[in-house]
Structure formats: structure tokens, C-alpha cells
Amino acid sequence: DTEVTQTPKHLVMGMTNKKSLKCEQHMGHRAMYWYKQKAKKPPELMFVYSYEKLSINESVPSRFSPECPNSSLLNLHLHALQPEDSALYLCASSQEAVAGFYEQYFGPGTRLTVT
Amino acid sequence: AQKITQTQPGMFVQEKEAVTLDCTYDTSDQSYGLFWYKQPSSGEMIFLIYQGSYDEQNATEGRYSLNFQKARKSANLVISASQLGDSAMYFCAMREGVDTDKLIFGTGTRLQVFP
């Protein structure tokens, strides 16, 4: 089973709202990732968690706050977003973050619209 | 400088024909990994194939094969016997070295398969 699930599939939020995106995998993977993808562009890495610890933050604004409660779950907390944050948010997981070139498995994404 | 270059914004292929999607990369690392992903209009990124820099054989996975030419720094994806369901965006990606977990994506090639 190479499934990564993400909820919700679609999210519309105002600039003053607080919402969370959720991601789950049950493949025993030790690395999890958040990507942001704008239309007609490649995904851009936001955060990497390795063994439940934040290992990479690609200078993401603090209105995005990641959380890894356990090895299977990854959340992205959203607060005071801007319209330009509207995008497809993809979660991914891989067996390890380093020590090997493991493929990343992606979820279906959450399409976020900020109004 | 671009690390991953996909020079074909769009490609057309007739059903049952083979098609090659180009990818060139730029790295000074000896150890790196190259990946191809497919992204249908639904949004999910689907892992297709992986080639390691030390692999002597070209990678193959079903109808997908990777034409790896290390000296030319190219890693072209070959899809044999194209199917209508192959219509999607295709991204080439690279991970450099073993001490970083950043996947660098190219700009993608949109493949359209026609009957």
C-alpha cells in the first residue's frame, strides 16, 4: 500500500481564518514533506520532517505552521493567509529523509483558496 | 542556473506510439538520484521511475524506461505504447547528495495522447 491521504480535498478560507490541513501515511515512512504548487508550476518544497523532527524549513512565512504529532501524521496549520497563498498543497512521505535516494509518495493534495 | 531542465513544454503522441520526454540536469555531486513523476489533472503526483547516479543499467518499470546518459547529464523518460490515460504533466526531479532531502523539480512537460 503506497497511499498517502490528505484532508480536506478543497478548502476555502478567509484571510482571518485559522484552518489545518492533514496528511496521513501508514507505510512506516520516517520522512514527511509539505509542498506548495501553483498552477502550471512544479511543486515547491516547504517543510521536511525526519523522524518527527523538523529538518528543513524553506524560509516559509510563519503564517504556515507545520506539526508532526507522530510518525504517521503531518499537519499544516494556516493562519492569516494571503490570497497569493492559494495553491495546491501536497503532502508526501518517503522511507527515509537521508541515507538513501528513496522515492517520495504524494497524496492527492488540498486545493486551497484564500478569499 | 537551472538544476533540472525540461525543454518541451508540451508534447503530442498518438495512442500506441512511443514518446520520449527530455530532461537534463546540472550537478557537481557524484552521488545523486533522478526521478520522474506523473501528475494528472486530478493533482496527485505519481512516482514513475528512479535512476541512481551509480546505476549502470537504465531503469525500467513496465512501459516506462529511463534513458540515462551520464556524460551528457540527461535522463530522458521513454513511454512505450502510449495510452490515453498517459495524458498528464510529467516532472523530472533530482536529489543531490545523500545529506540533503531536497527534491528539485523541472518545469514539467505536458503530454497529450490522441487516438
Give how far B18 is from chain A: nearest CA, Å.
25
Does the structure show a pLDDT above 70 at A5?
yes
pLDDT in tens, chain B (115 residues): 669 999 999 999 999 999 999 999 999 888 899 999 999 998 999 999 999 999 989 999 999 999 999 999 999 999 999 999 999 999 999 987 666 778 899 999 999 999 9
pLDDT (tens digit per residue) in B34-60: 999 999 998 999 999 999 999 989 999
CB-CB neighbors (< 8 A) of A106 in chain B: 37, 44-47
In degrees, to the nearest 5, what angle opens at C-alpha A60 toward C-alphas A55 and A65?
Answer: 75
Q: Work out how many CB contacts closer than 8 A connect A with B.
A: 56
- Burial of residue B64, with CB atoms counted within 10 A of its CB: 0-12 exposed, 13-18 middle, 19 or more buried: middle
Record: contact A101-B91, CB cut-off 8 A: no
Record: contact B101-A48, CB cut-off 8 A: yes
Q: Give yes or no for A43 touching B (CB within 8 A).
A: yes
Give how far B44 is from chain A: nearest CA, Å.
4
What are the angstrom distances between the C-alpha of A26 and each of A7, B49, B74, B109? 15, 22, 34, 31
Mutation for A interface: B45, B49, B105, most A CBs within 10 A: B45
Record: contact B100-A98, CB cut-off 8 A: yes
